[in-house]
């Protein structure tokens, strides 16, 4: 039996009959495909006339292959696993990869690298040498085009607390220069603050940024990957040891400013010490996912959406029972991300899956490596970009 929302605001739950039947006023899927393919991508007035209903169609699972073919892009997740003390990154997509080669990190000079962060634009990833027998080397790469460049090393004697990466969107179709920044928070000896370093591709160097006077323990590994929304990077901090309260640490890379965003009052006052929380971004909005046990054999997911980022005001978007999911898959599945407003991305020890929260339908993908550790949302075009000539030197200090 498909899971259904237990409660949700009426405006969030209302859908027209046409949308429930695939959109387009009830048109058959083949006619919908035909209509979508007739709209030229360079006809901006025509594109603007496409309604919200039609835009949603291109992101429905049945239409995802068409959308990605037209955009010449890949969309999915980099699934990071660890087997026999070695990291592996597998790319998974709901609709299969349109690239001629499977997306991986096997083109990097080191066979043992760990993904630290992924940018929301340009398909760039920041990786680090994971072999503890050698000084760590940082790389920036574009897995979709198999390009890479080594970076100078930051102050690696300080333990990493969190890493984020942002890339500047391409200003024009002819521009191939990839400008990016990498932010690394580390833990100083006194453990009384977060030490901040920023790598700027235009200067091709690390520099110190103002420290953040927050307890580093709240971001100790394993910290979930940063979530980009509202122009800033976000991490859900661990609960306070004394009060048990949680908040979201937001860092604006451009302004190098930070703030703490309280969780919704209903969540903060929730009488459930075992509630599991994650943050995600859907259509540029910050979302909070809260899992609680409604009964012995029933888990309930609450999805909160940021209604006003400046005020830090949340609103509950939906509440969904996951009883049918766990009846099929058992309790071993872990909620990893909110892929879209209605589709969640989950993983177990050796599998990943997309789950339609409203319809209760699931699409499962087997990954090559077991013991999944981290999930990174990955979207990229297939256009080679200029991140520098590939460095062939194996100098572990990686200083140019």
Per-residue pLDDT of the chain (400 residues; tens, 9 = 90+): 444 334 333 333 333 333 333 344 444 444 443 444 344 434 444 444 433 433 443 444 444 443 444 445 888 999 998 887 788 888 988 665 444 467 889 999 988 899 999 998 889 999 999 876 777 899 999 999 999 999 998 988 888 999 999 998 766 656 678 899 999 999 998 888 999 999 999 999 999 999 999 988 888 666 689 999 999 999 999 887 777 778 999 999 999 999 999 999 999 888 777 789 999 999 999 999 999 987 777 889 999 999 999 999 999 999 999 988 888 887 788 899 999 989 999 998 888 999 999 998 888 887 888 888 899 999 998 889 888 543 434 343 433 2
What's the burial of 314, exposed, middle or buried (CB within 10 Å: 0-12/13-18/19+)? buried
The pLDDT score that the predictor gives to residue 237 is 92
Show Cβ contacts of residue 26 under 8 Å, excluding neighbours closer than 6 positions.
Answer: 17, 18
Provide the 8-state DSSP code for 327: H
> What's the whole-model pTM score?
0.77
The H or E element containing residue 352 is strand 351-356
Measured distance CA(318)–CA(393) in Å, rounded: 52
CA–chain centroid gap for 287, Å, is 12
Residue extents of the structural domains in the chain: 30-71, 72-387
CA angle centred on 78, ends 72 and 79, rounded to 5°: 150
Other residues' Cβ atoms within 10 Å of the Cβ of residue 240: 12
- The Cα-based distances of 187 to 53, 131, 196, 215, 235 in angstroms read 47, 20, 9, 9, 16
Q: Give the N- to C-terminal CA distance of the chain in Å, as an integer.
A: 59
The pLDDT score that the predictor gives to residue 12 is 37
**Cβ 51 vs Cβ 80: under 8 Å:** no
- Tell me the two tokens of residue 400: 């140019």
Measured distance CA(7)–CA(13) in Å, rounded: 9
Phi, psi of 25 (to 5 degrees): 65, 30
Quickly name the fold that domain 72-387 has. Neuraminidase (2.120.10)
Length in residues, the chain: 400
The answer to whether the bond into 222 is cis (omega within 30° of 0) is: yes
Show Cβ contacts of residue 145 under 8 Å, excluding neighbours closer than 6 positions.
Answer: 123, 380, 382, 383, 384, 385
């Amino acid at each position: 039996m498909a899971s259904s929302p237990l409660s949700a605001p009426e405006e969030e739950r209302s859908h027209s009959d046409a949308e429930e039947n695939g959109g387009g006023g009830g048109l058959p899927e083949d006619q919908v495909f035909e209509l979508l393919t007739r709209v030229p991508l360079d006809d901006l007035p025509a594109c603007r006339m496409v309604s919200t209903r039609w835009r949603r169609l291109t992101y429905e699972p049945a239409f995802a292959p068409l959308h990605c073919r037209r955009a010449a892009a890949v969309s999915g997740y980099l699934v990071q696993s660890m087997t026999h003390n070695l990291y592996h990154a597998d790319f998974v997509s709901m609709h299969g990869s349109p690239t001629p080669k499977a997306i991986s990190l096997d083109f990097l000079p080191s066979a043992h690298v760990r993904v630290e962060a992924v940018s929301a634009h340009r398909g760039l990833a920041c990786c680090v040498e994971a072999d503890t027998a050698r000084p760590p080397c940082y790389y920036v790469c574009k897995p979709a085009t198999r390009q890479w460049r080594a970076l100078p090393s930051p102050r690696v004697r300080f333990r990493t607390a969190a890493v984020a990466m942002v890339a500047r969107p391409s200003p024009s179709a002819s521009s191939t220069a990839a400008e990016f920044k990498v932010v690394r928070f580390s833990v100083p000896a006194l453990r009384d603050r977060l030490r901040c370093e920023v790598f700027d591709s235009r200067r091709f160097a690390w520099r110190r940024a103002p420290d953040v006077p927050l307890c580093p323990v709240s971001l100790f590994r394993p910290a979930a990957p940063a979530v980009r929304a509202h122009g800033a990077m976000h991490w859900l901090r661990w609960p306070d040891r004394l009060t048990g309260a949680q908040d979201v640490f937001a860092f604006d890379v451009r302004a190098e400013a930070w703030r703490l965003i309280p969780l919704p009052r209903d969540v903060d006052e929730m009488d459930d010490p075992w509630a599991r929380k994650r943050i995600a971004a859907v259509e540029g909005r910050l979302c909070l996912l809260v899992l609680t046990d409604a009964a012995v054999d029933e888990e309930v997911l609450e999805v909160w959406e940021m209604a006003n980022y400046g005020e830090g005001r949340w609103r509950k978007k939906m509440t969904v029972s996951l009883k049918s999911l766990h009846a099929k898959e058992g309790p071993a599945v872990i909620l990893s991300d909110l892929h879209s407003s209605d589709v969640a991305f989950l993983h177990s020890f050796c599998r990943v899956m997309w789950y339609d929260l409203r319809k209760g339908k699931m699409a499962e993908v087997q990954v090559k490596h077991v013991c999944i550790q981290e999930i990174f949302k990955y979207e990229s075009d297939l256009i080679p970009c200029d991140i520098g000539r590939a460095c062939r030197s194996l100098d572990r200090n990686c200083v140019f």
